């Protein structure tokens, strides 16, 4: 059997870039942070091009541990785009805070690599490898600002809880392996489909542990405790990265596992997903109301959005997966844009992150306020903004599968969530201005902001192409239904 | 003129104007304000002209939708056809389009002197609002309708919150969250409809028959949304707050057009798509309408703030409208539509009348005025015309609508008709009582001695409103004839459901 490396070409590019960044940093006797970012971004763009060139036909590599299909291509492009945008937003921040070191871009690259492996995993082994590569890189990134106690606390908290979640996941995997005798997704699905009834209960317990571990990674309630602290403590560009790419990767992995090997346990896992979804929507919307720090608020907002995305997963099937992918893509654009705004919140040279610091932004910096306003209405899911389409499609999937209570709870919590997004609009436009924010806007940040705003507005009016793309990606998980 | 895309033009012309205003830049804020206002006024006048063109091409003898435009918009997620960009007007919606395009230039003209801060943004908000309103009335696809229906909230939220009075933040949030909470249930209903009928096209859905038990749930979900928008008692509490805090022009649009969106929803969705549920829930609507008419009229009587008084009178008048719609008779429905148009013009004018005083004295307390007739004779006349139109004096627009509604109601339920009619008496009481206290009596307040009568611009604002009110009152058939075919069609459709009740599915549910 020959080793076919074409499907992993994008990953190889990212690996090569990460190693290059490390080597360059070690051997060149000056600050190479900026070079590292250039290398990283070029490599990730090249990886996207490679993904486009390889195309989406289902291909296996590494003895079936790794799979590249349209689903993987779609989610990998999302992950890479999120990584590119958040990485480019970091450059100015690191230089201004004087914490730039060449390891940062390397860590981003390794984390991205881990995510790409996650969404392409075709066995619990490769799943775990990808997940840990991602997690370990993210732990370090969270504590990257090592002179800040908050950042170190965030990193430590994230590490301890993350390690626990990994333990749960591993335990679940070992149970599944013990009862089913395989870790490969394909044979597992066949086994469970053919009614290995005697082994079923053990597999179900394993499944629940696996889901708990993965729920931690997507910060679904009740495994969300780390999120607000980590979001608040980590350096802002890292928070931006946390809230975009890993969310997509973990959600995609969640879908691949549940709709892949465990597709025949749909009735069982759906109950768990419904519970996670309702809890996340409720906690995400109510707990965010009382937040005064915008990064904590974004953490609860992320929890709420995960709850909405899980509505689509609870619906299941191609339509559910498509809805989740649409939701995640739109969320990604919104969240990257929002963090670009947060990153440009500086007063007298220092970062500010209290909500009150936004007061009167509509007067002092109208463009920034306009961008934030569009993003907030979109996050709240008010039509015609793009965020509405995300909600529209997940609820549509839920209604089609008869999940009425979930849809109704979902729309009602979205009203509660609208309150705190509106509060930001209120602070920006209705309140009297305090001292204006600094008017310096780093060029990459401004660019990301512009791209995100244009993206939201474009998806507002022409969501069609995204829907079509998500549909082909979703169909890839269901080859039989094809 | 089928391929002129007249309806798209009417809908999106204001948006083009708003984008144009966005590009206005100057160091002098006065220049920006003047240019923005001029562009907004011209855009809205042009939109009105286009909507008149729509009226002239409209064939009033046909009951169905005309000037239709369709294009594919979103691919379908499951089976069935996708969601379409579909526009069209019939004899009902065309009047609401005209109402929106008629009131917007008046609003923009009325802001001179009243709004001085952030004029550019104000004009943009109004033009965006106009796009949303018109789009909602011409949408022939349920999802498109919902997008516009909800989209209205964003500019209105900003208008109340940025340019409103002292409690604007509370009022803006209450307005937004109340309406949003009602509307999201409609969203669920909309999705349910999509999966039942596999289409969101309104013309197709009008001829689709939903199972009886499903109709009940769908009707209630729609009702939650529309009742808040109208607003019906007991979910009306956001309206007085929103009106009191909103700037004058915001109140005008709120009372003039936004309140009609809910009743339009009843006419467009509840009645034709869910006729059996509509018949089933008629008594409930009657009860709520009668309570709204009598209770809010009494509340209006006790108000000391002029805007609040008119806000409560709006709720009472909308009580007439809902009762008229659910009389399910031609007279009642035509009366309800007529009453909505009349109320749209009259309440808009009344809010503008209050605005005239507010711009001068910066108070809306009734007790702070009195004896204005000696200083402001022109104002007293204009105010009187609209106060009497609101009361429903024969010869004004208010009379025709209320009379038709009462006749229509009397044919089906004399009690409801009689109770609703008390609203006319109470209406006369609170309106004339307020008018007397503000305009007549002795001029006792010192600061009123120097108050100036209306200037030419203000007269220009009111002149078209006076003309329309009298026109509607003296020659109502101009307005009633074009809607006749559509309303007859609608009522026949509903009565057919009453005559031949579809057998509920035999399966247990």
Nearest to A172 by CA among A42, A269, A292, A35: A269
Q: How far apart are CA B336 and CA A54, in angstroms?
A: 63
Mutate to test the interface with B, among A312, A384, A393 (most CBs of B within 10 A): A384
- B318-to-A7, A457, B423 alpha-carbon distances in Å: 65, 36, 11
CA nearest to A419 within chain B: B177
Confidence band of B80 (pLDDT split at 50, 70, 90):
low
The greatest distance separating any two alpha carbons of chain A, rounded to the nearest whole angstrom, comes to 70
The greatest distance separating any two alpha carbons of chain B, rounded to the nearest whole angstrom, comes to 76
If you average pLDDT over residues B336-361, what whole number do you get? 89
If you average pLDDT over residues B112-118, what whole number do you get? 77
Q: How far apart are CA B383 and CA B327, in angstroms?
A: 32
Q: Do B195 and A399 touch (CB under 8 A)?
A: yes
pLDDT at B201: 85
DSSP symbol at B254: I
Residue ranges of chain A whose CB lies within 8 Å of a chain B CB: 319, 322-323, 362-363, 377, 382-384, 388, 392-393, 395-397, 399-400, 404, 407-408, 411-412, 414-415, 418-419, 422, 425-426, 429-430, 463-464, 467-468, 471
B56 domain-assigned:
no
Q: How far apart are CA A141 and CA A152, in angstroms?
A: 10
Q: Is the pLDDT of residue B1 over 80?
A: no
pLDDT at B128: 92
DSSP symbol at B129: H
B291 domain-assigned:
yes
Quick check: A64 and A123 in contact, CB under 8 A? yes
Strands A350-351, B66-74: parallel, antiparallel or unpaired by DSSP?
A: unpaired
Percent of chain B with pLDDT over 70: 96
pLDDT at A195: 67
The angle at the Cα of A36, spanning A30 to A40, to the nearest 5 degrees, equals: 175
B491 domain-assigned:
no
Mutate to test the interface with A, among B143, B145, B166, B187 (most CBs of A within 10 A): B187
Q: Which helix (H) or strand (E) holds B40?
A: helix B29-57
Q: In terms of residues, how long is chain A?
A: 482
B289 domain-assigned:
yes
A379 contacts in chain B (CB < 8 Å): none
If you average pLDDT over residues B132-138, what whole number do you get? 92
CA nearest to B179 within chain A: A415
Pick A382's closest partner by Cβ from B121, B154, B192.
B154
Nearest to A79 by CA among A132, A134, A123, A35: A134
- Torsions phi, psi of B89, nearest 5? -130, 150
Q: Do B146 and A383 touch (CB under 8 A)?
A: yes
B192 contacts in chain A (CB < 8 Å): 399
Pick A396's closest partner by Cβ from B168, B180, B191.
B191
Instruction: Provide the 3-class DSSP secondary structure of residue B165.
Output: coil
B154 contacts in chain A (CB < 8 Å): 377, 382
Q: Which helix (H) or strand (E) holds B86?
A: strand B83-89
How many A-B residue pairs are in contact by the CB < 8 A criterion? 93
A248 sits in the region (left: phi over 0; alpha: psi -120 to 50; else beta) called alpha
A475 contacts in chain B (CB < 8 Å): none
Range in A45-49, B114-118, B313-317 the model is least confident about: B114-118
- Torsions phi, psi of A346, nearest 5? -130, 140
B368 domain-assigned:
yes
User: Rounded to a whole number, what is the distance in Å from the CA of B86 to chain A's nearest CA?
Assistant: 14
Which residue is it, tokens 């459709």? B493
Of A349-353, A427-431, B72-76, B138-142, the range with the highest mean pLDDT is B138-142
Residues 6+ apart with CB under 8 A from B185: A408, A411, B221, B224, B225
Residue environment code for A33-72, b if the CB has 16+ CB neighbours within 10 A, otherwise e:
bebbbebbbebbebbbebbeebebeebbbbeebbbbbbbb
B234 domain-assigned:
no
pLDDT tens digit sequence for B10-22? 888 898 988 888 8
* Cβ neighbours around B244 below 10 Å, total: 22
Q: Do B73 and A392 touch (CB under 8 A)?
A: no
Q: Do B169 and A426 touch (CB under 8 A)?
A: yes
pLDDT at A305: 92
The pTM (predicted TM-score) of the whole model is 0.89
CA nearest to B144 within chain A: A384
CA nearest to B161 within chain A: A430
User: Rounded to a whole number, what is the distance in Å from the CA of A412 to chain B's nearest CA?
Assistant: 7
If you average pLDDT over residues B319-341, what whole number do you get? 91
Residue ranges of chain B whose CB lies within 8 Å of a chain A CB: 73-75, 77-78, 118, 121, 143, 146-148, 150-151, 153-154, 157-158, 161-162, 168-169, 172-173, 176-177, 180-181, 184-185, 187-188, 191-192, 194-195
pLDDT at A1: 53
Pick B150's closest partner by Cβ from A383, A395, A430.
A383
DSSP symbol at B89: E
B418 domain-assigned:
yes
Quick check: A62 and A127 in contact, CB under 8 A? no
pLDDT tens digit sequence for B373-413? 888 888 889 999 999 999 888 888 888 988 999 999 998 88
Q: Is the ipTM of this complex over 0.90?
A: no
Quick check: A350 and A295 in contact, CB under 8 A? no
Q: How far apart are CA A35 and CA A27, in angstroms?
A: 13
Q: Do B180 and A418 touch (CB under 8 A)?
A: yes
Q: Do A362 and B187 touch (CB under 8 A)?
A: no
Nearest to A109 by CA among A44, A45, A34, A47: A44
pLDDT at A160: 92
User: Rounded to a whole number, what is the distance in Å from the CA of A391 to chain B's nearest CA?
Assistant: 10
User: Rounded to a whole number, what is the distance in Å from the CA of A352 to chain B's nearest CA?
Assistant: 24
CA A86 to chain centre: 12
pLDDT at B506: 35
pLDDT at B449: 79
User: Rounded to a whole number, what is the distance in Å from the CA of A189 to chain B's nearest CA?
Assistant: 25
Domain that holds residue B464: 281-474
Quick check: B409 and B417 in contact, CB under 8 A? yes
Quick check: A394 and B72 in contact, CB under 8 A? no
Quick check: B131 and B11 in contact, CB under 8 A? yes
A421 contacts in chain B (CB < 8 Å): none
Pick A415's closest partner by Cβ from B180, B192, B195.
B180
Q: What are the structure tokens assigned to B374, written together? A: 């000696």
Low-confidence ranges of chain A (pLDDT < 70): 1-2, 195-199, 436-441, 480-482
Q: Do A382 and B151 touch (CB under 8 A)?
A: yes
pLDDT at A269: 87
Domain count, chain B: 1
Sign of CA dihedral A196, A198, A200, A205: negative
User: Rounded to a whole number, what is the distance in Å from the CA of B177 to chain A's nearest CA?
Assistant: 7
Residues 6+ apart with CB under 8 A from A443: none
- A26-to-A19, A23, A29, A101, A236 alpha-carbon distances in Å: 11, 5, 7, 11, 26
B85 domain-assigned:
no
Q: Do A429 and B158 touch (CB under 8 A)?
A: yes
Beta strands in B90-143 (DSSP E): none
Mutate to test the interface with A, among B154, B168, B246 (most CBs of A within 10 A): B154
**DSSP characters over A316-361:** -HHHHHHHHHHHHHHHHHHHHHHHHHHHT-EETTEE--BGGGGTTH
């Amino acid at each position: 059997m020959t080793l076919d490396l074409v499907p992993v070409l994008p990953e190889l590019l990212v690996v090569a870039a990460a190693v290059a960044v490390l080597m360059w940093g070690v051997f060149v006797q000056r600050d190479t942070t900026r070079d590292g970012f250039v290398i990283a971004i070029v490599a990730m763009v090249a990886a996207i091009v490679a993904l486009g060139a390889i195309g989406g036909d289902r291909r296996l590599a590494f003895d079936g541990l790794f799979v590249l299909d349209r689903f993987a291509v779609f989610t990998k492009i999302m992950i890479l785009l999120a990584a590119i945008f958040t990485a480019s937003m970091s450059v100015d921040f690191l230089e201004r805070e004087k914490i730039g070191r060449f390891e940062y871009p390397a860590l981003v690259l390794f984390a991205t690599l881990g995510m790409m492996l996650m969404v392409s995993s075709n066995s619990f082994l490769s799943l775990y490898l990808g997940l840990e590569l991602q997690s370990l890189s993210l732990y370090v990134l969270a504590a990257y600002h090592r002179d800040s106690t908050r950042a170190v606390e965030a990193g430590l908290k994230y590490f301890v809880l993350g390690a626990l979640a990994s333990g749960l996941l591993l335990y679940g995997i070992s149970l599944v392996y013990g009862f089913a005798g395989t870790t490969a997704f394909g044979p597992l699905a066949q086994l469970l489909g053919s009614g290995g009834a005697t082994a079923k209960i053990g597999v179900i317990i394993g499944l629940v542990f696996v889901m708990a571990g993965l729920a931690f990674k997507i910060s679904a309630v009740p495994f969300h405790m780390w999120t607000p602290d980590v979001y608040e403590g980590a350096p802002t560009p890292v928070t931006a990265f946390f809230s975009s790419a890993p969310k997509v990767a973990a959600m995609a992995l969640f879908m691949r596992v549940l709709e892949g090997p465990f597709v025949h346990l749909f009735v069982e896992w759906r109950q768990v997903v419904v519970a996670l979804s309702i809890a996340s929507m409720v906690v995400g919307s109510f707990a965010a109301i009382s937040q005064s720090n915008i990064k904590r608020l974004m953490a609860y907002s992320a929890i709420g959005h995960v709850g909405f995305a899980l509505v689509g997963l609870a619906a299941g099937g191609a339509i559910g997966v498509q809805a989740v992918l649409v939701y995640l893509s739109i969320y990604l654009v919104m969240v990257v844009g929002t963090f670009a705004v947060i990153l440009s919140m500086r007063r007298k040279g220092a970062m500010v992150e209290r909500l009150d610091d936004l007061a009167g932004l509509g007067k002092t910096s109208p463009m920034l306020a306009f961008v934030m306003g569009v993003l907030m209405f979109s996050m709240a899911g008010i039509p015609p903004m793009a965020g509405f389409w995300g909600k529209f499609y997940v609820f549509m999937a839920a209604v089609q599968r008869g999940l009425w209570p979930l849809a109704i709870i979902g729309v009602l919590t979205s009203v509660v969530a609208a309150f705190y997004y509106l509060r930001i609009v209120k602070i920006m436009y209705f309140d009297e201005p305090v001292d204006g924010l600094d008017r310096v806007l780093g060029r990459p940040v401004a660019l990301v902001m512009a791209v995100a705003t244009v993206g939201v507005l474009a998806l507002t009016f022409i969501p069609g192409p995204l829907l079509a793309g998500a549909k082909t990606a979703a169909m890839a998980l269901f080859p039989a239904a094809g | 003129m089928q391929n002129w895309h007249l309806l798209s033009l009417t809908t999106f012309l204001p948006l083009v104007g708003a984008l144009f205003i966005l590009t206005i830049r100057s160091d002098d804020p006065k220049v920006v304000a003047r240019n923005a206002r001029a562009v907004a006024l011209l855009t809205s006048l042009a939109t009105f002209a286009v909507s008149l063109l729509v009226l002239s091409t409209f064939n009033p003898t046909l009951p169905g939708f005309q000037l239709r435009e369709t294009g594919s918009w979103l691919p379908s997620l499951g089976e069935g056809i996708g969601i379409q960009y579909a526009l069209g007007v019939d004899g009902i919606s065309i009047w609401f389009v005209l109402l929106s395009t008629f009131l917007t230039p008046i609003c923009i003209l009325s802001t001179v002197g009243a709004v001085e801060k952030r004029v550019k943004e104000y004009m943009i908000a109004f033009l965006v609002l106009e796009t949303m309103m018109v789009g909602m009335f011409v949408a022939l696809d349920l999802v498109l309708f919902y997008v516009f229906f909800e989209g209205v909230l964003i500019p209105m939220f900003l208008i109340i919150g940025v340019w409103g009075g002292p409690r604007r933040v509370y009022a803006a949030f209450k307005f937004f969250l109340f309406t949003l909470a009602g509307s999201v249930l409609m969203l669920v209903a909309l999705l349910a409809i999509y999966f039942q009928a596999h289409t969101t096209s309104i013309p197709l859905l009008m001829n689709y028959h939903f199972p009886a038990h499903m109709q009940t749930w769908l009707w209630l979900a729609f009702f939650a949304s529309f009742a808040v928008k109208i607003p019906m008692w007991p979910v009306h509490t956001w309206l007085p707050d929103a009106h009191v805090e909103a700037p004058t022009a915001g109140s005008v649009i709120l009372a003039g057009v936004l309140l009609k969106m809910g009743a339009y929803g009843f006419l467009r969705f509840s009645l034709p798509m869910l006729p059996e549920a509509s018949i089933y829930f008629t008594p409930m609507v009657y009860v709520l309408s009668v309570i709204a008419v009598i209770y809010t009229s009494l509340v209006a009587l006790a108000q000391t703030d002029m805007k609040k008084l008119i806000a409560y009178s709006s709720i009472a008048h909308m009580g007439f409208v809902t009762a008229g719609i659910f009389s399910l008779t031609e007279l009642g429905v035509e009366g309800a539509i007529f009453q909505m148009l009349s109320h749209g013009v009259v309440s808009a004018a009344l809010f503008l009348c209050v605005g005239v005083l507010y711009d001068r004295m910066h108070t809306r307390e009734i007790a702070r005025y009195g004896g204005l007739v000696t200083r402001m004779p022109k104002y007293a006349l204009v105010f009187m015309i609209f106060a009497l139109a609101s009361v429903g004096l024969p010869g004004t627009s208010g009379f025709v609508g209320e009379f038709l509604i009462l006749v229509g109601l009397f044919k089906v339920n004399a009690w409801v008709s009689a109770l609703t009619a008390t609203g006319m008496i109470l209406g006369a009481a609170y309106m004339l009582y307020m008018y007397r206290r503000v305009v007549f009596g002795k001029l006792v307040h010192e600061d009123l001695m120097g108050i100036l009568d209306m200037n030419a611009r203000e007269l220009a604002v009111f002149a078209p409103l006076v003309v329309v009110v009298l026109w509607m009152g003296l020659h109502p058939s101009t307005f009633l004839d074009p809607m006749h075919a559509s309303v007859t069609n609608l009522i026949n459709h509903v009565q057919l459901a009453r005559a031949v009740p579809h057998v509920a599915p035999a399966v247990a549910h």
